[in-house]
Amino acid sequence: MTLSVLTLNLWHDSGPYPRRVERLREWIDRLDPDLIGFQEVLRGPDGDQAASLLEDRGYHLEFAGAAPFWRDGEEDNKREFGNTVASRWPIRERQSLRLPDGGDGETRAALSVTVDAPFGAVGFTCTHLNWKFNHGAIREKQVAAVCDLALQNRPRGGFPPILVGDFNAEPESAEIRYVTGLQSFEGRSVSFLDAWRVAGDGGPGHTWANENVYTRAALEPDRRIDYIFVGLPKATGEGQLVSCRVVCNDEKAGVWPTDHWGVYAELRADPLPES
What are 185-242's pLDDT values in tens digits? 999 999 999 999 999 999 999 999 999 999 999 999 999 999 999 999 999 999 999 9
> Using CA atoms, how far apart are residues 109 and 219, in angstroms rounded to an integer?
26
194, part of any domain: yes
CATH code of the domain containing 33? 3.60.10.10
Across 14-30, average pLDDT: 98
What total number of domains does the chain contain?
Answer: 1
Q: Is residue 120 part of a domain?
A: yes
Q: Does the pLDDT value for residue 72 go beyond 70?
A: no
pLDDT at 74: 66
| Average pLDDT estimate for 139-167 | 96
Q: What pLDDT, on a 0 to 100 scale, did the predictor assign at position 69?
A: 85
CA distance 48 to 176: 31
Range of the domain at 226: 2-268
Question: 71 pLDDT band (50/70/90 cuts)?
Answer: low
* Residue 225 included in any domain: yes
Inside any domain, residue 61:
yes
What radius of gyration do the chain's Cα atoms show?
18
Q: Whole-prediction pTM value?
A: 0.97
- Which residues does 135 contact at the CB level (< 8 Å), separation at least 6? 102, 168
Q: Residue 245's pLDDT is what?
A: 98
Q: Letter for the amino acid at 253?
A: A
Burial 70-103 (b: 16+ CB within 10 A, else e): eeeeeeeeebbbbbbbbbbbebeeeebbebbbbe
On the question of pLDDT at 258 being above 80, the answer is yes
The total of other beta-carbon atoms located within 10 Å of residue 180's CB is 16
* Angstrom distances, CA of residue 159 to CA of 156, 192, 206, 247: 8, 13, 28, 25
CB atoms within 10 A of CB 271: 13
pLDDT tens, residue by residue, 130-145:
999 999 999 999 999 9
